[in-house]
């Protein structure tokens, strides 16, 4: 069984994390990194525009976002507009699909399945919505997914709302879907009248989910990969 090297970046500025994951992906492509990698992170408030962002998906001006302390970034991932904010768990799988299945649609379904598996571990029944990428529960969206790949190595990934307050989503039409209701793990646990998992418990469940769904042995990333983070800054 191949390994999945896991590295928790804590809270990290989006630009620093973006540069770092691209560096890890480049090293995965060149085989300087020999195993698949899962980066986990929380970001300060940021709105990102994917390749499929539609006119009208951004509801606030750049000047207003600046005044609110919300960054705006245009990135190469697939999908429409999305949001990151503290309390949301962002997972960036850097996976060589040549070792798995060379099919991005298959990969998206695997990422969804990983999060669905993780949510089941904490007692939340979630699933897919026909024709819409992401993870949902009773018509409410828990996780958004947007990916990119080069030479069949992936980066970008999935944002799971865990305990964030969702305030940054007021600036966007999430994923370009009109009238979508965003939700969090904490809110769904409350609807189920059960205790919500801690952020750390949800993180651990997501790690387990990716290992199980992709058939990889979860292990901590080597220290030298963790040391690379310092070269890309922190917040």
DSSP letter at 58 equals B
| DSSP assignments along 161-229, one per residue | ESS---GGGGGB-GGG-TT-EE--HHHHHHHTTSPPPPHHHHHHHHHHHHHHHHT-EEEEPPHHHHHHG
Active site positions, annotated: 175
- Pairwise CA distance, residues 131 & 142, whole Å: 16
- Pairwise CA distance, residues 85 & 163, whole Å: 10
- Pairwise CA distance, residues 27 & 146, whole Å: 21
- Pairwise CA distance, residues 154 & 24, whole Å: 10
SS3 call for 4: strand
Under 8 Å CB-to-CB from 207, ≥6 apart: which residues? 6, 38, 40, 218
């Amino acid at each position: 069984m191949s390994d999945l090297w896991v590295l928790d970046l804590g809270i990290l500025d989006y630009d620093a994390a973006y540069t770092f994951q691209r560096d890890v992906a480049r090293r995965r492509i060149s085989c300087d990194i020999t195993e698949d990698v899962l980066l986990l992170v929380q970001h300060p408030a940021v709105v990102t525009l994917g390749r499929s962002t539609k006119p009208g998906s951004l509801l606030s001006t750049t000047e207003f976002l600046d005044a609110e302390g919300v960054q705006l970034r245009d990135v190469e991932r697939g999908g429409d507009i999305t949001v990151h904010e503290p309390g949301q768990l962002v997972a960036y799988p850097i996976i060589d699909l040549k070792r798995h299945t060379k099919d991005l649609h298959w990969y998206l379904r695997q990422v969804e399945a990983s999060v669905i598996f993780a949510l089941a571990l904490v007692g939340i029944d979630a699933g897919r919505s026909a024709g819409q990428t992401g993870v949902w529960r009773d018509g409410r969206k828990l996780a958004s997914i947007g990916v990119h790949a080069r030479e069949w190595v992936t980066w970008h990934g999935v944002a799971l709302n865990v305990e964030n307050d969702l305030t940054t989503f007021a600036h966007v039409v999430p994923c370009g879907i009109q009238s979508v209701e965003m939700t969090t793990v904490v809110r769904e646990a409350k609807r189920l009248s059960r205790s919500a998992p801690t952020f750390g418990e949800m993180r651990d469940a997501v790690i387990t989910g990716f290992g199980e769904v992709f058939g990889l042995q979860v292990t901590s990333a080597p220290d030298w990969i963790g040391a690379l983070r310092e070269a890309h800054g922190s917040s």
